[in-house]
Chain A
Amino acid sequence: MIYDFVMSLLGVLLILYVISFTLYLVRVFKGPTIPDRVLAIDSLGYDLAAFMVILSVYLRSPLIAVCALSLSLWIFVLDIYVAKYLEAREMGD
């Protein structure tokens, strides 16, 4: 009884997550400079990792949560790579 209620509530929360992903995508497509876009993709990636963890609880399969672990590491690599690229371009001037 309580489990059905918890699962239906988690379904509603997952739909709310998808709505907030579209709000992040607005900034990704509209962002005037490169750091804006990278920052929006950054938040989008971390929230996608949280979405995958909740989805794995909702679908009762632990395989999706393992993908979230590597996704959150990949987002950090993207940050460091873009920061190095921007600073190297500044050194060249």
Chain B
Amino acid sequence: MIDLILIVLGLILVIIGVFCDFVGAIGLIRLPNFFTRLHAATVGAIGGAVIPMLGAALIALGYEPLGETRFILAGVAFTTSLITMVLAQAGSHALARAAYRARAAPLQPIIYDALSEKNGKGEKQST
């Protein structure tokens, strides 16, 4: 009975992950700017990678014909999901900071740039 609950829960998590993956991919194509595409990429990383890995860990725990290797699979999947959950945000934040400071990405559709006022550069790069 507990195996069936684990498998159904894992399948629901994997389906949520596939949905978030499609949302992230379409947003990465359709959004106009690098700093808005960052949001879609984070949806694709957290919703599309961390949640299906947790679902795969639950499926592997409840999947009886695997034998003893299901504990290995569940452990590796859980570890990978935890590592991705920490590292995806750190990496995308570092990339955004570098792209802003090096002016490598255009700031074209912009409403308000608080960081340039804080740095004392004024309206030189807004608009």
B29's partner among A26, A34, A35, A72 (CB-CB below 8 A) is A26
Report the separation of the CA atoms of residues A48 and B28 in the bound assembly, to the nearest whole angstrom. Answer: 16
Interface residue range, chain B: 35 or more
**A34 to B84, Cβ gap below 8 A?**
no
**A83 to B59, Cβ gap below 8 A?**
no
Which A residues are within 8 Å of any B CB, using their own CB? 2-3, 6, 9-10, 13, 16-17, 20, 23-24, 26-27, 33-36, 38-40, 42-43, 46-47, 49-50, 53-54, 56-57, 60-62, 65-66, 68-69, 72-73, 75-76, 79-80, 82-84, 86-87, 89-90
Which B residues are within 8 Å of any A CB, using their own CB? 4, 7, 11, 14-15, 17-18, 21-22, 24-26, 28-29, 34, 37-38, 41, 44-45, 48-50, 52-53, 56, 59-60, 63-66, 69, 72-73, 76-77, 79-80, 83-84, 87-88, 90-92, 94-99, 101-106
